[in-house]
Structure 1
């Protein structure tokens, strides 16, 4: 058994050993905190088989160095500064002798251009990802390399060793036949276990040896299909209904250049599926949006195959040629747009066409003659230009529907859960009769606890919702509890919300561009976050139909007025602030500073970044690269009604202004964000408990001009805030939502004949709850699974304290009372009679 499987098996065994003791019986109580009433005579909406799925994007090194089991980093010497400023063709390698990476006419092929040239004796050594190459004693590892030499019979020796040189496998030897590219292969069996191995290829030949595609794969991959077993098994254990791939922001960003076989393969181009199929040595590599190089070893064929292997529907996302993710650009090339539309039609043929068709033949040649059965395609991702995006979307949809009427074509609503772009795109999608709209949002746990009813008011006859990306912005168990409370609302509205996927899926612990993430890993271990355990609980206990229910009673958290300190901030921008004043409605001055005295007494850093100085009668932040450079005045504004005014001037940088207010501490505040997201969008954002956990209360397109002074005014009236720029109302919001820590939903599993009562108690006190099932007759004994723990707890590499515990419960019936623990999610599976 490999270490990957051993650790997973150990966790499963530990969990299995905990539960099936008998839980305390249901308790009686005269005055419960909550009452759940089930309308057993009513029929709720059916729940889609694709209700919950997974979203895979090559972010956080999720593909290379992650799910894709290749152990060699930069195997084809294609790393360039276009990927990352620190990269060279030898990134990941150490070389001895005369070694250089070369791009010339001797290249392996047109897309795999750069190779390694060794002149005379020499060697190259690769350390893989993280701290080294992980090897398990007794396991086999398959080596391959493409090589040529101007001296026939040039010997190559391939070794696996520790950093100190101790052998980890018996070396293999290869003789290079001649000066044409040939693939050579061999197998190494590990003689010891190590997580820091090194692969070396050396030659004693005197001539010139060229190497490319130096590869080392574990023989033991998921179903033999080249994916890292432990990671693939964790995804499969979720039993996802769909897999959305390959992104995300990397889909619709990049140069949008078309590939021309007669020219260099362009870098930083948008993700295009045809680049990712066929023999791996003929595929290109590309600059990943997230700041590194991505090989296309994990390509569209592998995505389709993985979806099939885990019983999930494939859901590819194709670029709409309109950028999102903080960028604003749309193609003005009709021919390029037509080519991408044809590429999408070709993609459907690749997935579904017979083996005799042009692209079906490519699929068959890759080892899968049978069609994959593609039923859904998403066009675009988080576009910031609604007019340009939707015009392109309609062209994609019309072309797809004309040829493949049974394929669902999914649109989207931009990057936010609300705001001008969101409303605009939803109106367009409704008017055009779009089948499904992809929504994305990452918000604070309080937002999820406040918005359980979000989809209650959606049009039941309008487009269905695909919640393609969502997560609570931290990795603690409280975040998972808030997500669980929200998911009960998704299920209750299963007639509107057809699919949902937490995002992102995977994160390499040493290479993180985004958090939180569902599954974490290093080079030989993996572990599920608390949200992984929560998602798994919901995804493996969905049910087939909602049983209508309601809840009464309870303890809610009421909204509070916006009070606290006032601040100034920037994000990758240099700016000057002057004439700051806070006044009560009657004109009383609560705070005033025009900085004419040449100092910033009374101001202190909340986030100690950037360079703040008082110069020429203004408070300036002069570092145009620093992020989140917040300072705050000492005065604490306790009044519930007040006005903030300030003059702001951008002097350099990528974005605009950030005006914080209502500051409680470094993780609790509001700010007015003007010219954010690379100077494309404005917002009011609220941080609650963590600066990383921000939710957007209002958004709109916005730009700030360098050198222009703006008069900014924030009017606070209790929970209501109005934002005024240069005398014009810019926007407003009312932060008056109630936080409800208790949520529930009831579903029916037709296969097992069980009713599943799902209860979330995210509060800090137990919730005594009466459950009234109406006319439903249930067995007196049922099965209960609970996730519970300290809301601040996390699952980490060293410990995974949040695990499900399953027990048998007694004393059940058509009506019973239970105490649901503080900080818990409980699933009761009740057999109906």
Structure 2
């Protein structure tokens, strides 16, 4: 037995003895609760689909090659070149001995596999793999393969070794004969564990050998599949129990889609992701420049994506390019023949997934080992296009062609790259009027945005297109970010009649090769760990329920504060001159003024030491056109109503002006961005520590050499922006923050209510829970994720983990204290 203190109104703590097997309710209070959750007595809300939560896989952060794809050899087909990334060559990741050269001639293995390695006499190569090397484990087996031809009988000696040449395996000898390409295989057994191993391939004799597709896979891949997936990463994804897998990417899909990929064009680099490049034998798959700055082999291709989705019980959701680029590039095809080719490719993709073995593409699927159709039901067209008119025209052609042959396929449109703004509103209006099946929304925002927008989908049209939240995350990997996401997810579930699918993004990140963060699962050569968001996502995805139980909540919210703080100037890959900076009260009295006529900028300081700032000809200038985010700041405005005016002139560079205000020491600020996104649009962005979110956007350009009069008028939380005396835009940052969020769902099969509570604040939340008269068990299974809100999981430690216990004190109405900075799930049996 153990003694537990209870806090009672008007009394000191007393000790209550309870059985050890069951934890008591956290608190039994006679005081007023901070929050009340009231469950509707009899009503049930929306059904929650199996597809509610899924995963989005994109080959970013080396997520495929060197990551989920279990191939250990880097640049196995010698196809790397400088188009992929600066410094890449056909021998990237390889070291040579003797006469070993990369050749591209008519003796190649395949027309899409252009390069091969030529060894003359006693020569060899050693591959260093990804990051620090190949990860091998003592006594584990590794499957080696190579395509080879020789002008006379020859032998290859293959070994695993350390970086300094010490053996990590017994040698494997491969006899090569004949001057036609053949595949040779064998097995290596590691004699020691290393995360920095090398694969050595050496030839002996006086013959000439040609080698290609030198490959090494762990035998122990996920579900033991050949050409398979790294087991620990695949298992972490499977453990999420996702309802869908969206693939093969976002920006990876739509950017570069102006380029054809047929053999007549010699398979040009930087073409878009083409699914037909990624199927069939791996030695026939063309490699390509990855949008994120490296080479991708397509060894992990569409067949493998479909297979993995099936293996983990998830719905496959491929996304095809709409031939309108996004992700900072704004182009649309004018080649109707190319557009029609992509539309036909999409129809062929559906045939590959679903067609009988008597069809062309269904036969290829069967030849690859899967005669049974994959059961594709949903397909996305495009990703984050920022040219709404061009995208919409192309989307309608894709949709019409798909629906004509496959009327039951759900075709997913999208709303551009942001959670609001001109493109978003334009595309949503088009999708509503058209009656689209589903619209894909994407946004990455600060924790405060997620805590302020829990009710985002409450007002969506229940009869309009459904929502697929295909990419979202709070812009950091700390627990507080995950709590904000969790709070937001309660709103997604509450609106399950509108939001049918949602996926955090990105999914994977190689800690030594990061193009984007935050990310859900991190890894190196031989280890992987889930971020705090992984733990939160897993908790939600493993405890979804199948219908929503309506609830109401009462309790405090956090009201917004007036916009105060420093003022700032900045540039982004642009040179600019600023003058006549002034901050005044509404009555005209001056709070700060600097016309730089004295030749110095003593009142200004750098937020970060970037760019080249100086006073030149009576103006404050920044002259480095390569520098980004060069902010300097001055003054500290404590008054809530003020006007900030200045003159700005762009002198050179790619973009325009960044005029900051409300700068706080924590890194919080606002800035008015004119001529952003390569001088195509303006915006107001809100910085929150390491993140920025867009408050508003509109088309805008800045003319080099023209002087602009700018005015930022602040009245509490409302800001009005004037450009050359004309109102440009306004906003009111007056949203309340809701650090406490909840939703209740039901698992009808298990006969359980699932009470989900998020307390994203630094104080505990005493909460009364009224289950609407339902008869329930006296105990519940409780899972809690909590800790320091600034904590994160890393390679060296994963302190943020769920803790599951059995708790008592459950009844139709009960009170609990939810810890500060926590997510709590209570699974309560109904009777």
In the superposition, the TM-score normalised over structure 2's length comes to 0.96
1:639 match: secondary structure: coil
Rate the CA distance shift 1:642–1:710 in 2: closer, same or farther, 3 A.
Answer: same
Which of 368-377 and 603-612 deviates more?
Answer: 603-612
Shift of 1:141: 0.4
Alignment of 1:66-85 (within 5 A): 66-85=67-86
Quote the residue 2:62 is aligned against: 61
Q: For residues 158 and 807 of structure 2, what CA distance do their matches in structure 1 show?
A: 59
Shift of 1:774: 1.2
- Whether 1:746 and 2:729 are equivalent positions in the alignment is no
Shift of 1:93: 1.1
Shift of 1:638: 1.4
- Whether 1:800 and 2:801 are equivalent positions in the alignment is no
Quote the residue 2:427 is aligned against: 425
1:417 match: secondary structure: coil
Q: For residues 673 and 560 of structure 2, what CA distance do their matches in structure 1 show?
A: 22
Quote the residue 1:816 is aligned against: 814
2:303 match: secondary structure: helix
Q: For residues 148 and 621 of structure 1, what CA distance do their matches in structure 2 show?
A: 60
Q: For residues 51 and 21 of structure 1, what CA distance do their matches in structure 2 show?
A: 35
- Whether 1:647 and 2:647 are equivalent positions in the alignment is yes
Quote the residue 2:397 is aligned against: 395
Which of 198-207 and 160-169 deviates more?
Answer: 198-207
Alignment of 1:214-229 (within 5 A): 214-225=214-225, 226-229=228-231
The superposition leaves residues 195-218 of structure 1 with CA deviations (integer Å, 9 ceiling, x where unpaired) of: 110011112333432221111100
1:752 match: secondary structure: coil
2:436 match: secondary structure: coil
Q: For residues 445 and 249 of structure 2, what CA distance do their matches in structure 1 show?
A: 19
Which of 672-681 and 372-381 deviates more?
Answer: 672-681
Is the CA contact (8 Å cut-off) linking 1:569 and 1:659 kept in structure 2? Answer: yes
Quote the residue 1:139 is aligned against: 140
- Whether 1:510 and 2:508 are equivalent positions in the alignment is no
User: How much is the aligned-residue C-alpha RMSD, in angstroms?
Assistant: 1.4
Rate the CA distance shift 1:578–1:395 in 2: closer, same or farther, 3 A.
Answer: same
Alignment of 1:727-746 (within 5 A): 727-746=725-744
Paired residue total: 809
Alignment of 1:188-587 (within 5 A): 188-225=188-225, 226-554=228-556, 556-587=557-588
Is the CA contact (8 Å cut-off) linking 1:275 and 1:284 kept in structure 2? Answer: yes
Quote the residue 2:124 is aligned against: 123
Quote the residue 2:98 is aligned against: 97
Q: For residues 248 and 127 of structure 1, what CA distance do their matches in structure 2 show?
A: 30
1:730 match: secondary structure: strand
Quote the residue 1:109 is aligned against: 110
Is the CA contact (8 Å cut-off) linking 1:352 and 1:360 kept in structure 2? Answer: yes
Is the CA contact (8 Å cut-off) linking 2:567 and 2:660 kept in structure 1? Answer: yes
Shift of 1:464: 0.6
- Whether 1:787 and 2:785 are equivalent positions in the alignment is yes
Rate the CA distance shift 1:647–1:365 in 2: closer, same or farther, 3 A.
Answer: same
Rate the CA distance shift 1:206–1:666 in 2: closer, same or farther, 3 A.
Answer: farther
Is the CA contact (8 Å cut-off) linking 1:252 and 1:270 kept in structure 2? Answer: yes
Q: For residues 358 and 328 of structure 1, what CA distance do their matches in structure 2 show?
A: 35
Which of 742-751 and 607-616 deviates more?
Answer: 607-616
Quote the residue 2:694 is aligned against: 696
Rate the CA distance shift 1:666–1:568 in 2: closer, same or farther, 3 A.
Answer: farther
The superposition leaves residues 144-172 of structure 1 with CA deviations (integer Å, 9 ceiling, x where unpaired) of: 1112233x112221111011221111111
Q: For residues 528 and 189 of structure 2, what CA distance do their matches in structure 1 show?
A: 23
Q: For residues 89 and 597 of structure 2, what CA distance do their matches in structure 1 show?
A: 50
1:694 match: secondary structure: strand
Q: For residues 772 and 584 of structure 1, what CA distance do their matches in structure 2 show?
A: 51
The superposition leaves residues 676-715 of structure 1 with CA deviations (integer Å, 9 ceiling, x where unpaired) of: 2333332211112x1x321211112333333333322211
Q: For residues 104 and 724 of structure 2, what CA distance do their matches in structure 1 show?
A: 55
Q: For residues 126 and 794 of structure 2, what CA distance do their matches in structure 1 show?
A: 31
Quote the residue 1:16 is aligned against: none
Is the CA contact (8 Å cut-off) linking 1:604 and 1:632 kept in structure 2? Answer: yes
Quote the residue 1:175 is aligned against: 175
Which of 540-549 and 200-209 deviates more?
Answer: 200-209
Which of 260-269 and 360-369 deviates more?
Answer: 260-269
Is the CA contact (8 Å cut-off) linking 1:326 and 1:680 kept in structure 2? Answer: no
Q: For residues 515 and 45 of structure 2, what CA distance do their matches in structure 1 show?
A: 41
Uncovered stretches (5+) of structure 1, i.e. residues with no partner: 1-19
Is the CA contact (8 Å cut-off) linking 2:713 and 2:719 kept in structure 1? Answer: yes
Rate the CA distance shift 1:22–1:679 in 2: closer, same or farther, 3 A.
Answer: farther
Q: For residues 184 and 139 of structure 2, what CA distance do their matches in structure 1 show?
A: 23
Shift of 1:362: 0.7
Is the CA contact (8 Å cut-off) linking 2:657 and 2:674 kept in structure 1? Answer: yes
Is the CA contact (8 Å cut-off) linking 2:23 and 2:807 kept in structure 1? Answer: yes
Rate the CA distance shift 1:255–1:771 in 2: closer, same or farther, 3 A.
Answer: closer
- Whether 1:30 and 2:31 are equivalent positions in the alignment is yes
Which of 197-206 and 298-307 deviates more?
Answer: 197-206
Q: For residues 101 and 390 of structure 1, what CA distance do their matches in structure 2 show?
A: 45
Shift of 1:374: 0.3
Q: For residues 264 and 372 of structure 2, what CA distance do their matches in structure 1 show?
A: 33
Shift of 1:744: 0.5
Rate the CA distance shift 1:179–1:577 in 2: closer, same or farther, 3 A.
Answer: farther
Q: For residues 452 and 161 of structure 1, what CA distance do their matches in structure 2 show?
A: 54
The superposition leaves residues 31-63 of structure 1 with CA deviations (integer Å, 9 ceiling, x where unpaired) of: 111111000211211111100000000000000
Q: For residues 78 and 643 of structure 2, what CA distance do their matches in structure 1 show?
A: 59
1:672 match: secondary structure: strand
